[in-house]
Amino acid sequence: MYICSVRKTKEDTAKTIDDLLDSAISLFIKDGYTAVTLEQIAAKIGMTRGAFYHHFKSKEDLLNAVIRRERNSFENKLQDLFKEKKEPEVHLKKILDHIIENFFENKRFNRFIHFTWFKIESSMIEHKFFYQGATNELLVTEIAAIIKRGQKKGVFKKGIPALVLALQVISSILGMYRLYFQSKKYMTKGNAKAMEKQFIKMISIK
């Protein structure tokens, strides 16, 4: 009984934190990070300011938690994909498929990109936002390794260094994020998939 109660309490706390983070992103997108108050974030889920401080020390602490949640979720899935033993072309396609699907179908991640690209001062996310730091480096390093492996196996063309090709595809992904919010009419999931297919075709020998 005691163990069940502890588990239930942890689950309730985790849900409350998720609700606070979701509440924060919704308000940040609507009004901008600076304009939103802690009272508004807490009130959106029926919580008092005092109860908010039970979970976070400040709005910046909350911001760090928002970034950490999405970065960890994104990186953990990628790490699992990178560890898979597949042929280079299949492996690369599966990773790029996941990145595209995650952006277009994962509403929480999509809203996170919207918020951090367009609704917050750059000074507030310096050295924190995933695509400007370690996650971006992880993507470049791992994708370059897959392409290099494919080049050695004679699957991918050898004319362009693997690192350059990896930088090219990561730049396309970041461009996809930006263009989606500037022109959803053109940056659709279908077009993103077509871009992926074209990239793989371009670097493949067959």
Cα distances (Å, whole numbers) of residue 69 to 29, 64, 115, 159: 17, 9, 14, 39
Contacts of 139 (CB under 8 A, 6+ apart): 78, 166, 170, 173
Q: What's the pLDDT tens digit per position in 143-177? A: 999 999 999 999 999 999 999 999 999 999 999 99
Q: Cβ(92)–Cβ(150) under 8 Å?
A: yes
Average pLDDT over residues 65-92: 91
Same domain, 88 and 23: no
**H-helix segments, the chain:** 2-31, 38-44, 49-52, 59-83, 88-105, 107-118, 134-152, 162-182, 189-203
Local structure of residue 156 (DSSP, 8 states): B
Residue 62, in any domain of the structure:
no
Last residue of a domain, one of 56, 87, 103: 56
Same domain, 102 and 179: yes
Average pLDDT over residues 53-73: 88
Same domain, 88 and 174: yes
> Residue 37 is part of a domain; what is its CATH number?
1.10.10.60
Last residue of a domain, one of 56, 79, 97: 56
Domain interval for residue 93: 67-203
Residue 61, in any domain of the structure:
no
Q: How many domains does the chain have?
A: 2
Same domain, 84 and 38: no
DSSP-assigned beta bridge partners for residue 156: 204
Could you give the percent of the chain with pLDDT greater than 70? 90
Same domain, 52 and 120: no
Q: What's the pLDDT tens digit per position in 102-149? A: 999 999 999 988 888 888 876 676 645 555 667 788 899 999 999 999
Provide the whole-model pTM: 0.85
Q: What's the pLDDT tens digit per position in 146-155? A: 999 999 999 9
CA dist 130 and 74 (Å) reads 9
Residue 94, in any domain of the structure:
yes
Same domain, 96 and 34: no
Residue count of the chain, please give it.
206
Same domain, 195 and 133: yes
Same domain, 15 and 98: no
Same domain, 163 and 190: yes
